[in-house]
Amino acid sequence: MTNDDTLHLVTGGTGKTGRRVANRLMERGLPVRIGSRSAALPFDWTREDTYGPALAGAGAVYLSYQPDLAAPGAPQTIAAFTEAAVKAGVRRIVLLSGRGEPEAAECEDVVRASGLEWTVLRCSWFAQNFSEDHLLDPVRAGEVALPAGDVPEPFVDAADIADAAVAALTQDGHHGEVYELTGPRALTFARAVAEIGAAAGRDVAYVPVPLDAYLGVLAEHGVPDEVGGLLAYLFGTVLDGRNAAPADGVRRALGREPADFTDYARATAATGVWNP
């Protein structure tokens, strides 16, 4: 177990999972340093000169890489970061990884070979993509158009990811573990949108579209090429059924069942975030 005075560096500390990890650590009274470009001590994945200062004095790290571990050059960046972590005296690292992504697995190998105490969290699609990311505006507008077909996905709640990350960062017994974090059941994007509409008390339509048409609309709206490329990979390659089966990672990491998508939809609708 980490000491009460262990400094925890949370990269991506303002993102969907990093923000929740940082908040949970701070609620326990544990020292936290947010790793982001906007932090008091700036951290930028594209600038290796920011790694050392951000890691200085840290004993544990939550590694959430942007834009994605499947992005070109990610293994080299992760290697440079883990080398800097070892030099800084970091003891424990928890990697947020992608489920069913061979490119992410290469980054996992880098972390395994680092010599640090490591834990890997392989995650399916986040439920919060519908409320804190690129799908929020379409839900508010009442129409979600995606090239997802009818392949089911066991959406995982970001709160479960954060709980698993904090457990791995602060408790012994997680070294060398790979936890595949999913929700308890798989549902299609059409079904997920229907559950969101029901919870919000609104008509929200799901419209299947071809991948090329979807990417074309993104480009017309000024979405950066790297984001479009990542979505093309996720929808065109990873969403092929390889991840349809729910996994037991939440139960193994936390000793409880994962949150269900219906519970996420009801709790999120209650905040009013989906109201136009």
CA distance to 122, 138, 150, per residue, from 113 (Å):
18, 42, 38
> Residue 221: CB partners within 8 Å, gap ≥ 6?
none
For position 225, what pLDDT does the model report? 83
CATH of 7-126+156-182+244-258 given 3.40.50.300, 1.10.10.10, 3.10.50.40, 3.40.50.720: 3.40.50.720
CA distance to 71, 170, 184, 254, 271, per residue, from 167 (Å):
28, 5, 20, 7, 27
Q: Which of the four pLDDT bands, split at 50, 70 and 90, describes residue 2?
A: low
Arithmetic mean of pLDDT, 176-184: 98
Least-confidence region, from 14-23, 83-92, 95-104, 220-229: 220-229
pTM across the whole model? 0.96
Domain locations in the chain as residue ranges: 7-126+156-182+244-258
d(CA 195, CA 129): 14
For position 1, what pLDDT does the model report? 61
Q: Which of the four pLDDT bands, split at 50, 70 and 90, describes residue 254?
A: very high
Percentage of the residues of the chain whose pLDDT score is greater than 90: 87
Query: Is residue 26 scored above 70 in pLDDT?
Result: yes
Q: Which of the four pLDDT bands, split at 50, 70 and 90, describes residue 134?
A: confident
Q: Which of the four pLDDT bands, split at 50, 70 and 90, describes residue 172?
A: very high
